[in-house]
């Protein structure tokens, strides 16, 4: 039991801190850009909303990579591991380049579809073309970090992300405010600084990968193989669907909230930027647990699966609630870094409060989703998310927030109800799968 806990912590804690550092890139951008105007903050928030959709694709690919490579490594299939690594990097390049090109060409219609108008639209286009136009860097950082982690070096991606964050902060300050004789670039400078820091991060990650047992051997792209007919793609598609349902739903929520006014929308964006840290422990433990649960599932060890899942949930619920409580306690002080506008601050307080009280529920949703996906069931999380987000959250958000004039309170109450529904569904299906595996073993 102690060995399980130690391995879970060894894999999860670095991922937790890595998630914190990755989130800090957007946090630093928002804090520095808030010094320009609330319009700039709103523009960055809209872009981050779209990037969350992109990130859903990248994370789905990374999760599939982790499970496939871990299975091959556990079976000591060296050639299969090597081929999976090559396919992972090749897929990352193809997907990243396609999204980068589409982002450069379709920046304006994408942001207009999200409800951006006027100055928010103009500033958003500038930031979007730099950040989304270099999507290939984001997907490479995500997948390369996962490959290094599955090679038994969970701390290496953390160290590199620390370097990326320091570079991002320094470059943002210099380029946004025009220090050392450089021109004052504002929101464009924030985008360039972030892209440059990620480029350096990709180089460092690839260099470290080549020093592991999962190093890339031979050319990345090979005409000998059908790139999109691989086990990685088969596993990634339903996971991608689940995350896309979530992220696309978030965009619809953005459209609902923006109708309440630019100040409320800005406050909601600030609140979500701050509370993003609440969920990072769960995502970190989900990363570590999914690798270990996938191995245990392959060995048909249901006791190991149950132990890892339970410990992951308990740890994340406690840590997330503590983090959420600290943010809630010091929310007034933290919000001063963003804005002093009364309406925006009030909206942000609603987001911070609801996030704090619902931490255990959200932790359960994240952990049980990861557990089911590691056990080969990506369909249940997909269906639960599709119904919960598009029927419960969006439907009730409009009814409570708009029709009943509850505003942002209605939107976030609907969010809590969605998470409760999904936790119940995921937990029930999880217990059924564990029970069936036990029956199969005894028979």
Joined together, the tokens standing for residue 242 give 């689940």
Q: Is the pTM of this model over 0.85?
A: no
Separation between Cα atoms, residue 104 and residue 102, nearest integer Å: 6
Task: Report the chain's C-alpha Rg in angstroms.
Answer: 21
Q: How confident is the model over 306-359, as pLDDT tens digits? A: 999 999 999 999 999 999 999 999 999 999 888 889 999 999 999 999 999 999
> For the chain, how many residues are written?
443
Joined together, the tokens standing for residue 130 give 């730099």
Instruction: Write down the pLDDT at residue 443.
Output: 44
8 A C-beta contact, residue 10 and residue 156: no
**Which is nearest to 409 in space by CA: 293, 252, 271?**
271
Separation between Cα atoms, residue 287 and residue 13, nearest integer Å: 10
Q: For residue 335, what are the CA distances in angstroms to 91, 170, 350? A: 40, 22, 12
Separation between Cα atoms, residue 228 and residue 231, nearest integer Å: 9
Separation between Cα atoms, residue 305 and residue 295, nearest integer Å: 9
* Domains of the chain: total: 1
Separation between Cα atoms, residue 300 and residue 281, nearest integer Å: 27
Q: What is the DSSP string of 268-288?
A: HHHHHHHHGGGGHHHHHHHHH
Instruction: Write down the pLDDT at residue 2.
Output: 66
Low-confidence ranges of the chain (pLDDT < 50): 439, 442-443
Instruction: Write down the pLDDT at residue 393.
Output: 96
Instruction: Write down the pLDDT at residue 328.
Output: 95
8 A C-beta contact, residue 60 and residue 91: no
CA atoms within 13 Å, Cβ hemisphere of 337: 15
Instruction: Write down the pLDDT at residue 439.
Output: 47
- Tell me how far the alpha carbon of residue 255 is from its chain's centroid: 21
Instruction: Write down the pLDDT at residue 442.
Output: 46
Instruction: Write down the pLDDT at residue 88.
Output: 86
According to DSSP, residue 235 is labeled H
Q: Which domain holds residue 118?
A: 2-442
Separation between Cα atoms, residue 285 and residue 434, nearest integer Å: 20
8 A C-beta contact, residue 373 and residue 59: no
Instruction: Write down the pLDDT at residue 223.
Output: 52
Residues 6+ apart with CB under 8 A from 182: 174, 175
Q: How confident is the model over 66-111, as pLDDT tens digits? A: 877 877 766 666 777 788 888 888 888 988 999 999 999 999 998 8
């Amino acid at each position: 039991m102690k060995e399980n806990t130690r391995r879970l912590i060894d894999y999860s804690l670095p991922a937790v801190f890595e998630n914190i550092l990755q989130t800090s890139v957007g946090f630093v951008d928002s804090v520095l850009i808030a010094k320009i105007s609330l319009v700039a903050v709103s523009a960055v928030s809209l872009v981050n909303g779209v990037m969350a959709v992109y990130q859903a694709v990248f994370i789905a690919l990374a999760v599939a990579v982790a499970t496939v490579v871990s299975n091959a490594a556990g079976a000591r299939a060296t050639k299969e591991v090597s081929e999976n690594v090559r396919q992972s990097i090749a897929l990352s390049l193809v997907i990243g380049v396609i999204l980068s090109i589409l982002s450069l060409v379709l920046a304006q219609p994408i942001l207009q579809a999200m409800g951006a108008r006027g100055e928010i639209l103009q500033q958003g286009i500038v930031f979007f073309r730099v950040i989304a136009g270099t999507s290939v860097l984001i997907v490479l950082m995500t997948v390369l970090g996962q490959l290094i982690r599955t090679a038994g070096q969970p701390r290496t991606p953390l160290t590199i992300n620390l370097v990326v964050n320091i570079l991002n902060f320094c470059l943002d300050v210099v380029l946004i405010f025009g220090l050392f004789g450089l021109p004052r670039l504002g929101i464009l400078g924030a985008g360039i600084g972030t892209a440059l820091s990620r480029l350096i991060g990709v180089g460092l990650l690839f260099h470290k990968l080549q020093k592991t047992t999962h190093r890339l051997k031979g050319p990345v792209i090979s005409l000998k193989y059908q790139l999109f007919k691989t086990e990685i793609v088969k596993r990634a598609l339903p996971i991608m669907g689940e995350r896309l349902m979530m992220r696309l739903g978030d965009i619809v929520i953005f459209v609902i909230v923006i109708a309440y006014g630019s100040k409320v929308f800005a406050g909601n964006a600030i609140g979500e930027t701050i509370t993003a840290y609440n969920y990072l422990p769960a995502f970190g433990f989900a990363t570590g647990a999914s690798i270990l649960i996938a191995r245990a599932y392959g060995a048909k060890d249901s006791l190991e699966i149950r132990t890892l899942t339970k410990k992951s949930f308990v740890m994340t619920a406690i840590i997330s609630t503590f983090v959420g409580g600290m943010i809630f306690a010091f929310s007034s002080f933290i919000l001063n870094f963003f804005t002093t506008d009364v309406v925006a601050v009030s909206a942000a307080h609603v987001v911070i409060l609801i996030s704090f009280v619902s931490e255990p529920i959200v932790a359960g949703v994240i952990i049980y989703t990861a557990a089911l996906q590691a056990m080969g069931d990506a369909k249940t999380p997909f269906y639960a998310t599709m119904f919960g987000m598009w029927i419960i959250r969006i439907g009730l958000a409009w009814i409570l927030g708009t029709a009943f004039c509850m505003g942002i309170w209605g939107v976030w109450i609907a969010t809590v109800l969605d998470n409760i529904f999904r936790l119940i569904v995921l937990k029930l299906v999880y217990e059924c799968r564990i029970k069936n595996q036990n029956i199969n073993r005894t028979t």
